[in-house]
Chain A
Amino acid sequence: MNDIKEKILLKGNVAIAKAAIEAGCECYFGYPITPQSEIGEYLSKAMIEENRVFIPVESELAAINMVIGAGSTGTKAMTSSSSCGIALMQEAISAMCCQQIPGVIVSVMRGGPGLGNIAPSQGDYNQACYGGGNGDYKIIVLSPSTVQESIDLTYLSFHLAFKYRCPVMLLADGILGQMMEPCEIGNYPYKNYNYDIESWALDGAKNRKARNLISLHMDLGELEKLNYELNKKNIEIEKNEIRYDKYLTDDASIIITAFGTVARVAKAAIKQAREMGIKAGLFRPITLSPFPSNELYNTINENTKVVLDIEMNLGQMLKDVRSSVFGKCDVKFTGKPGGGIINSDEILQKIIDLNNNIES
């Protein structure tokens, strides 16, 4: 791969697919669903041209379980889907955590619940961060808010999946998947990282004891012990991998919390508010799981009167925001479910209203 410096115009979904190629993804397994089908469509050509593995599979169940198979041999593998498709993968995601098998899952959210609609949404924050799989498990969830960041976080997804031997989910929404932006691609930053795959991956018991990656642990106390080990890993991830972005928060009396597409819309509203003399700022979690709790708490300063959480859902991140703020200031919420899109005028009006309340 050549190092490309110039910017090219890319659609979000295609950018994710291209980034997966750059990151050295050897296997892609996918089943079509709007609004992310371009990922599979792009890779159906690119992976074959690169002499890598592409299979258009029979279901999302098949896709994620093939990721498990490839991951178990230490191979970089990915699948992508959207809301109801990701729902089908939950059992396997729990198994991946238990079996400590790396893999990347791209989730491009659409409106829900049920089949919902194909409008952009953030209704799967809970699905991604809190999962529908069984047992005590946590996965890493990364949330981009630009096409460029979709690329960078796809890179990071593969890196973290292998660094910690776990599933990593890239959580985008329909707007990010479908919009086009200029971006730089072609410099995978983790090329030289040594993941020590040889110590755990399956390649046949040649000149060593047989090893296994299984998810049933029936011996007395075995599963309890494994849970503690997995928890230790989660604490390590929390210590090392929290990522977030702040914008004009130092003196902010109103701090907006938002992720993904909503965060960039909020940024535009904050700019306008600042021009009107209202001290608004933005705190944007990039790792939704683990959530930057301490970082949000510490961002709230003596001027901060209120944290306004905004999401394209009915307040799924709100509980994480509330528990992070920990009563340090007031927390308000505004949002739209089912594919409703929030524009910057609405956010600005909300900021103005809150500011009036603060001043009165």
Chain B
Amino acid sequence: MEKLVYKEPKCLVENFKYTFCPGCGHGYVLAIIAGLIDEFNLQGDTIAVSSVGCSIFLEKFFELDVVGASHGRSPCVATGVKRSKPQKFVFTYQGDGDALTIGFNETCHTALRGENITTICINNTNFGMTGGQASATSLPNQKTKTTPFGRDIKKYGYPIKAAEIIAKCEGAAFVARCAVGSPKLYDETKKIIRKAFYNQINKIGYSFIEVLCSCPTNWQMTPVEANNHIINDVAKYYKLGIFKDVLEENKSI
């Protein structure tokens, strides 16, 4: 007997041109988002905000209305969209270079204001699109195009643990860090992003989801090595988990 195990989400563009490198983590997260848009029946009410970096080409993958933002400013563009059309479902899809390096001020203030939007932030510990330079999230000793001797924390400071910081912003409703690198992690990530979507739909407030993703090309690894690197190294430095969940907090009171 045939059993349907995967169906292409209808909000994905048919036969879209995949712009990512082999083994890149972006594709998993985009598939999760598309699946959830379908699951919550949001296609006709969604305005997605794209950013700058590998995360930029949302309109090439999604049958969704998309507005582009300059580097780091998608939380502001999303704020303008949401405040002008509060009934719409609004999410930003950003990388660590965008949301946590050039745009961290905007990310924090959006969390502090408790904007009822969802931010999905892909953290692959480097500027992927420009060819693998160090970003705010590059790990200590990580070799990149601009830290060829490894990230020296004495010279360049420490990586930003964004989820932990944003969880301290009182306006944030739901802050979590997850990863894609194994089927188990994929399923957990889907659960967490589902919760973030649920929060916005039910006006619970701002959700920030940091997703640790592989970048095999710039990490100079095979896709399998890159996935192992996420589990064995990246997720050791950036602890996975839920850092804030007002729904659960309210339950426990």
Residues of B within 8 A of A99 (CB): 67-68
Q: Which 5 pairs from chain A and chain B are nearest by CB?
A: A69-B80, A206-B44, A214-B68, A65-B76, A66-B80
Residues of A within 8 A of B109 (CB): 57-58, 62
Contact residues, A57-108 vs B (CB, 8 A): 57-59, 61-63, 65-73, 75, 77, 91-92, 95, 99, 101
Does B80 lie within 8 Å of A68, measured CB to CB?
yes
Contact residues, A20-73 vs B (CB, 8 A): 26-27, 29, 53, 55, 57-59, 61-63, 65-73
Residues of B within 8 A of A213 (CB): 66-68
Residues of A within 8 A of B50 (CB): 214
Among residues of A, the one whose C-beta sits closest to the C-beta of B65 is A202
Residues of A within 8 A of B81 (CB): 69-70, 72-73, 202
Does B84 lie within 8 Å of A77, measured CB to CB?
yes
B145 to chain A, nearest CB (A): 21
Interface residue B147 (Cβ < 8 Å from any Cβ of A): no
Does B69 lie within 8 Å of A65, measured CB to CB?
yes
Residues of A within 8 A of B164 (CB): none
Among residues of B, the one whose C-beta sits closest to the C-beta of A94 is B70
Interface residue A216 (Cβ < 8 Å from any Cβ of B): yes
Contact residues, B94-118 vs A (CB, 8 A): 105-106, 109, 113
Known A69-B49, A204-B43, A214-B59: A27·B83 in contact at CB below 8 Å: yes
Does A66 lie within 8 Å of B79, measured CB to CB?
yes
B42 to chain A, nearest CB (A): 8
Known A26-B84, A70-B84, A204-B45: A61·B76 in contact at CB below 8 Å: yes
Interface residue B62 (Cβ < 8 Å from any Cβ of A): yes
Does A210 lie within 8 Å of B65, measured CB to CB?
yes
Residues of A within 8 A of B82 (CB): 69
Contact of B106 among A27, A61, A204, A205 (CB under 8 A): A61
Interface residues as binary, B57-98 with A (CB distance below 8 Å gives 1, 0 otherwise): 011001111111110010011111111110011000000000
Known A69-B49, A73-B84: A55·B79 in contact at CB below 8 Å: yes
